[in-house]
């Protein structure tokens, strides 16, 4: 199964409100646990349209295991509370033996991690708030 197929599967599960799925074949197994993201709704003056708050932060660029510590170097990739620049690596997404950098989408101050080291995340899962 390719990374693209796993990303499509995760997106389908998320849109169908499926919380967990496990696939197993000879020589292959995959378990995805979806984390729900609840957007806060702001209620405006009566009669005015509702507005949803928008998450400003770092999201998972794909499906995989989120690593706060670099798997090969063993050190913390980014320290919460630190100022980061757009494109700077703030975490690592591990898919099997492959590693993909998780980068800051904008300049800002990195908040605490929203998921634990080693958590399986889906595409778009919020990983850090960015102030």
- Write out the DSSP string of 14-34: HHTT--EEEEEETTEEEEEEP
| pLDDT at position 88 over 90 | yes
**List of residues 6+ apart from 4 with CB closer than 8 A:** none
Confidence (pLDDT) at 42: 39
Q: What is the pLDDT of residues 109-125, one digit of tens each?
A: 999 999 999 999 988 88
Domains of the chain: 3-130 (2.40.50.100)
DSSP single-letter state for residue 76 = B
Q: What is the pLDDT of residues 94-103, one digit of tens each?
A: 988 889 999 9
Q: pTM here?
A: 0.59
- At 27, the pLDDT band (50, 70, 90 cuts) reads confident
Residue linked to tokens 């199964």: 1
DSSP single-letter state for residue 36 = P
């Amino acid at each position: 199964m390719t990374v693209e197929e796993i990303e499509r599967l995760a997106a389908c599960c998320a849109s169908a409100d499926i919380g967990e799925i496990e696939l197993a074949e000879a020589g292959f197994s995959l378990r995805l646990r979806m984390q729900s993201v609840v957007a806060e709704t702001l209620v405006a003056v009566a009669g005015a349209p509702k507005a949803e708050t928008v998450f400003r932060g770092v999201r998972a660029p794909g499906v995989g295991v989120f690593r706060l510590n670099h798997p090969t170097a063993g050190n913390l990739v980014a320290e919460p509370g630190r100022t980061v620049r757009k494109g700077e690596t703030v975490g690592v997404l591990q898919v099997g033996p492959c590693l993909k950098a998780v980068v800051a989408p904008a300049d800002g101050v990195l908040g605490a991690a929203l998921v634990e080291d080693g958590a399986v995340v889906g595409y778009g899962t919020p990983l850090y708030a960015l102030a």
